[in-house]
Amino acid sequence: MKSKYLYKTSIALAMAVVWTTGTSAEETLTVVSFGGSYAKACVDGYHKSFEEETGIKIKLEDYNGGLAQVRAQVDAGAVHWDVLDTESAPLMIGCDEGVFEEVSDLELPPAPDGTPAADDFFDGMLFDCGVGTLVYATVMVYNSENVDGEPPSTVKDFFDLEKFPGRRGMRRSPSGNLAWALMADGVPSDRIYEELSTEKGLQRAFRKLDTIKEHVIWWETGAQAPQLLADGEVFMTTAWNGRIFNAQVLENQPFVIIWDGHIRDYGALAIVAGAPNLENAKKFLQHATSTRGMVGVANHISYAPVRHSGLPLVGKHATTGVDMKPHMPTFPANSKNFLWYDIEFWTDREDELIERFNSWLSR
Amino acid sequence: MTDKRSGVQRLIVPVGLVLPLIAFILVTFVIPLGSMVIQSVHDPEVAEVLPNTLNLLSEWDGTSVPSEEVFESMAQELVLSRESRTTGKVATRVNRIASGTRSVFGKTARRLERIETTELRSAMIDIDDRWKDVELWIAIREAGREYTVKHYLHAVDLERELDGGIHPVSEDQRIYNTLYLRTLFVSLAVTFFCFLIGYPIAYAIANVSDSMAKILLLIVLIPFWTSLLVRTTSWLVLLQNQGVVNDILVWLGLVNDSDRLALIHNMTGTLVAMTHVLLPFMILPLYAVMRAIPTDYMKAAASLGANPAQSFVRVYFPQSLPGISAGCLLVFILSLGYYITPALVGGTKGQLISNMIAYHIQSSLNWGLAAAISVILLTGVFICYFIFDKWVGVDKLRLS
Amino acid sequence: MDNFGWKVVRGVFVAVVVLGLCFLVLPLLVIVPLSFNAEPYFTFTEGMLRLDGEAYSLRWYRSILENPEWSKAIGNSFIIGVFATLVATVLGTLAALGLNNPRLPFRQAISALLISPMVTPVIIVAVGVFFFYSSMGLAQTHLGLILAHAMLGAPFVVITVTATLAGFDQTLMRAATSLGAGPLTAFTRIQLPLISPGVLTGALFAFIASFDEVVVVLFLGGVDQRTIPRQMWSGIREEISPTILAIATLLIVFAILLLLAVELLQRRNKLSAETSVK
């Protein structure tokens, strides 16, 4: 009898242990993203359905991009983030530096029509340490209230202070600005990086920037650009297309995007090396990078899916009913002249060019 | 016996009282600063990842492409680094010396895993022809030094050329020296403005009736106690293009609505806001000294026939000098390290060296460089601090 | 110069002083009415200038209450501030008592060491703290910020308590011990009550030092450690809305309350110094 009693209790105990460890390991997942309207779009786009389908509770945190915080966690061996929403350059650098888990063998869901993921994703959107989730664009914008007569329509117009006088807003970073300076100077988009790789081309870009330098207000965070335009501090500004979409549709601002010469980059999800909830994080990546997940985001904010099966499924904005397709950077009418952000060029040269850019700014 | 014991006891009590805080300050402040100094000169990552290659490179002539043996060792260690996920640490560091080489390492490490050949030199050059560049190998050798002054060179706009000599970096890359000078200039200017505005105020508080002095002191103390962020915000609100000051100027007809003054996001913004933030630090030490100056001397000077200006210059001013030196040094030291205010209202032309430190900590992740700039700044501040201590005495600091 | 000339000089002097005081305090006063702006602008609307009731509203104060980020920031500021103040006050008061003892060796050097966190630019402190605390796993924890803020606040306690002790009559202690009180009893019954206003003043300084600190929070804190100034920092840089002005107004009121508390304590301090002389 005694042994039977012991047997029973030990089973109960074991079950309790399995049950508690099971739930504590399964239950949560910390996802870190950029906050604001984008994070909200992700919550509506795929967080909620993930929680419903798996029972895993998502803890959402905000950060300002970059690698500083995640590197501090990994170096100190005190990782409390699981999934990181990141951009192309930090993804590549972080992967080489070992702050992200390798996910290249992660099995991703096929397209709704059964096309395997490898064929459905755009080329180069599956990385060693992450999976691409969206395409966003850095664009030029003006406020139609301030324009009488012919509106600006090209990159050249942005640099033309005679035809379109007024201050310009630009991001305080060399990446887009050097490329646009060359475009405005007549370099075709497919030769921009070739030109930027030479000292002569760099000087040419800075010389072109010199012509508008005194009229530029430099912004640093994504929210500042639409703010500058709305406050009338600038006549035109560069900005991220999702932010402008929000201002146009949610705040009824009369902003107009110039799609000519926009610069395209992608966002991606990565798993932090040593993530406490590794298995949940993998499930989350599979869920979020499905066609459904990407389209879910695209129906809330104007960031385009990176699967071929995605764009045709994009529909109307979830709350205002605006047709989302024409707002997508990948919409055919918007894709006539654009430039991809060149990861290799920028990860190789960024440190040097930022220093040079800062030096130029302080002169 | 009793005497001896009480002698030791007498020492034990005060030492025991100060010891907890000393230990606390050591752990939370002194050791962190020490770790910062170490971070600025110690960079072992590359040496840890490529020990054998660096060893071989120490015998390399530095002019021709290294031998097959070096390539072999590099290939081996690169593949290993991919397993330990440290390729990027090497790439980042070499890239800081030879810009534009970061991708060589990741790319080569990835491809090498799939290659089966013994001809590694040609194989690696096939993967990326930058392996032929002598500059790349010199940069690797340079990055491999465990102890280095490269961050300090970088922090004063110098670089080590391929021939080993130290030269200034090219003109369009220079930035730090300009920023040290600008920081110095801004600190001096802010100190000067604070003195100009603060001296009369302190004089007034010290020489009016007691009840009036209390009210004036309150006006000085309210901003002193108010959050720095609040005060910076108020200047943003006042000075921006569509802000209160510009509105008033337009309303008065002094400025056209279309060309409102740019008062913020430039040097003007930095100077105005910093002067405002630091002014109480000038007024309070000045007032503390002036309050103690006896009025008898002024009266005596006046009775001896000196006019008020003479008696002020000859009698009062010299006696207020300790207050001036305390206030000026305090404001100057605090301005040297100011970060928040210039970052928020300084735009691009009003940035100081502290903004560069924050940038390298948070964005570029070049922590060694951030540490080196901090050490340079800290040295400057400590020199000022010692002058302050010798001149005024740290224990003379009063807060209220 | 004649009498009239001196009157002019005096007039100019008064004008300079008044202008200087306006420069100090007006920027803060401007924020207060603007925080009641019914429109999302940072300047006075026409309605506000006409003192039209409709142009004023409490909407920005409501938006503080409605936004969980602000309530979290307020909570964090007080949690970190209170614990940092406790640590700083206890350690700082003990150290000040030790420093006040003439038998302490190396007094000058020790007081310089203990005060040094206050005069080191906070950006440098933040860099050092970031490197060391990160390697100890204290980055993005409340504990890390509490330790750092206690370190920044301790010098204020040391300075104020030392100043109070300078006015304390040591013969009282000797009298107490000669009447048979142990040193501990003499301390808790005689010295502590008399210096307590000074200790409390130091504690308030330490609290405000933590409450106002943002650079260390920027480097070391994570999202869970956002404090009020940290939240204001991102508010100013990211989406500047008049909510910032409402928070700023509340902080001004809070600062005035703290200031009045310090004034009261000073008065008590003076009183107790006088009684101790008697």
- pLDDT one-digit tens code per residue, B64-80: 999 999 999 999 999 99
Dihedral sign (CA B331, B335, B341, B347):
positive
* Domain spanning B176-396, CATH architecture: Orthogonal Bundle (1.10)
CA–CA separation, B58 vs B149, rounded Å? 18
pLDDT exceeds 80 at position B8: no
Phi, psi of A42, rounded to the nearest 5 degrees: -65, -40
In this model, does residue C144 exceed pLDDT 50? yes
A310 inside domain? yes
DSSP state of C101: S
Q: Are strands A28-33 and B158-160 parallel, antiparallel or unpaired?
A: unpaired
- Does C17 contact chain B (CB < 8 Å)? yes
- Cβ-Cβ contacts under 8 Å for A350 (sequence gap 6 or more): A89, A175
Percentage, residues of chain B above pLDDT 90: 56
Per the CB < 8 A criterion, the answer to whether B326 and B285 are in contact is yes
- The answer to whether position C18 is within a domain reads no
Chain B, window 320-349: residues with a beta carbon less than 8 angstroms from a chain A beta carbon: 347-349
Judge residue A326's burial from the number of C-beta atoms within 10 Å of its C-beta, 0-12 exposed, 13-18 middle, 19 or more buried: exposed
In 3D space, the residue among B219, A362, B196 whose CA is nearest the CA of residue C28 turns out to be B219
Say if residue C73 is in the same domain as residue C96. Answer: yes
Instruction: Out of B89, B106, B364, name the one closest to residue A351 (CB).
Output: B364
Tokens of B151: 């961050």
Domain that holds residue C56: 34-66
Residue C28 belongs to some domain of the structure? no
Residues A251 and A143 placed together within one structural domain of the fold: yes
Q: How far does the CA of residue B87 sit from the closest CA of chain A (Å)? A: 6
Q: Distance (Å) from the C-alpha of residue A229 to the closest C-alpha of chain B?
A: 13
Q: Please compute the mean of the pLDDT values over residues B181-197 and round it to a whole number.
A: 96
Instruction: Flag whether C101 is in a domain.
Output: yes
The answer to whether residue B395 scores a pLDDT higher than 70 is: no
**Residues of C with Cβ-Cβ distance to B383 under 8 angstroms:** none
- Interface partners of C (3+ CB pairs, < 8 Å)? A, B
Identify the closest residue of chain C to B231 by CA–CA distance. Answer: C28
- Tell the burial category of B61 from Cβ atoms under 10 Å away from its Cβ (0-12, 13-18, 19+): exposed
**In a domain? residue A16:** no
Q: Going by C-beta distance under 8 Å and a sequence separation of 6 or more, which residues neighbour residue A328?
A: A135, A298, A302, A303, A304, A311, A314, A334
Asked if C239's CB is within 8 angstroms of A69's CB, the reply is no
A77 in reach of chain C (CB within 8 A):
yes
Contacts of B85 in chain A (CB under 8 A): 96-98, 273
What is residue C20's predicted lDDT score, i.e. its pLDDT? 95
Residue A55 lies in a domain: yes
Which chains contact A through at least 3 pairs of Cβ atoms less than 8 Å apart?
Answer: B, C
Last residue of a domain, one of C46, C66, C86: C66
Range of the domain at A304: 27-135+267-327
Q: What is the mean pLDDT of chain B?
A: 89
For residues A334 and B201, what is the distance between their CA atoms, to the nearest angstrom? 62
* Together in a domain, A71 and A114: yes
Residue A54: partners with Cβ closer than 8 Å, 6 or more residues away: A280, A283, A287
Shared-domain flag, residues C53 and C185: no
Nearest-CA distance B103 → chain C (Å): 27
> Is A3 a member of any domain?
no
The pTM score is 0.89
For residue B225, what is the nearest residue in chain C, using CA coordinates? Answer: C255
Which of C51, C66, C81 is the endpoint of a domain? Answer: C66
CB contact under 8 A, B85 and A98: yes
Q: Are residues C189 and C164 in the same domain?
A: yes
Per the domain annotation, does A22 fall within a domain?
no
> C201, C92, C213: which is closest to C144 by C-alpha?
C213
More confident residue, B132 or B2: B132
Q: How far apart are CA C10 and CA C32, in angstroms?
A: 33
- Same-domain check for residues C242 and C149: yes
Q: In angstroms, rounded to a whole number, what is the distance separating the alpha carbons of residues C124 and B363?
A: 17
Q: What is the pLDDT of residue C278?
A: 43
Token pair recorded at residue A282: 């993998």
Q: How many whole angstroms separate alpha carbon A180 and alpha carbon A263?
A: 9
Residues of chain B contacting residue A274, judged by C-beta atoms under 8 Å apart: none
Q: Are residues C51 and C85 in the same domain?
A: no
B253: left (phi over 0), alpha (psi -120 to 50) or beta: left
Closest C-alpha among B283, B282, B277, B245 to residue B342: B277
Please indicate whether, in this complex, the C-beta atoms of C101 and B244 are within 8 angstroms of each other.
no
Query: Do C44 and C108 reside in the same domain of the chain?
Result: no
Q: Is the pLDDT assigned to residue A304 strictly greater than 80?
A: yes
Judged by CB atoms closer than 8 Å, whether chains meet at A66 and B363 is answered as: yes
For chain C positions 97-156, those within 8 Å of chain B (CB to CB) are: 97-99, 101, 103-105, 108, 110-117, 119-125, 127-133, 135, 147-148, 150-151, 154, 156
C207 touches chain B (CB under 8 A): no
| A225 & A341 share domain | yes
My answer on whether A101 and A49 are in the same domain is yes
User: Where in chain B are the domains?
Assistant: 45-145, 176-396
Same domain, A46 and A163: no
Flag whether A1 is in a domain. no
Q: Is A78 on the interface with C (CB under 8 A)?
A: yes
Of the candidates A138, A337, A141, which has an alpha carbon nearest to the alpha carbon of residue A256?
A141
How many structural domains are present in chain A?
Answer: 2
Domain harbouring C185, CATH code? 1.10.3720.10
Contact assignment for A68 to B363 by CB distance below 8 Å? yes
Tell me the helices (H) and strands (E) count for chain A, helix number first.
15, 9
Residues of A in contact with C139 (CB under 8 A): 69, 72-73, 76, 78
**Model pLDDT for residues A172-219, shown as the tens digit of each residue:** 999 899 999 999 999 999 999 999 999 999 999 999 999 999 999 898
A290 and chain C in contact, CB less than 8 A: no
Distance CA A242, CA A304 (A): 10
Q: How far is CA C145 from CA A67, B171, C114, C138, C215, in A?
A: 21, 41, 19, 8, 11
**Listed residue (B84, B81, B54, B83) closest to B70, CA to CA:** B54
Do both A247 and A205 map to the same domain? yes
Q: A19 falls in which pLDDT band (50, 70, 90)?
A: very low
CB C230 within 8 A of CB C247: no
Are residues C41 and C118 both part of a single domain? no
CB contact under 8 A, B175 and A358: yes
Question: Contact A231/B106, CB-based, under 8 Å?
Answer: no
Is residue C83 located within the same domain as residue C142? Answer: yes
CATH number at residue A353: 3.40.190.10
Q: Could you tell me if C92 and C48 lie in one domain?
A: no
Instruction: Count CA within 13 A, CB hemisphere, residue C35.
Output: 24
Q: From its phi and psi, is residue B299 left (phi > 0), alpha (psi between -120 and 50) or beta?
A: alpha
At residue B400, does pLDDT exceed 50?
A: no
- Look at residue A29 and give its three-state secondary structure: strand
Instruction: Read off the pLDDT band of A20 (50, 70, 90).
Output: very low
- Closest C-alpha among C256, C264, A79 to residue B225: C256
My answer on whether C74 and C198 are in the same domain is: yes
- Within a domain: residue C3? no
Residue B289 above 50 pLDDT?
yes
Q: How many domains does chain C have?
A: 2
pLDDT class for A24, splitting at 50, 70, 90?
A: very low
> Do the Cβ atoms of C151 and B228 come within 8 Å?
no
Chain C residues with CB inside 8 Å of B395's CB? 108, 111, 162
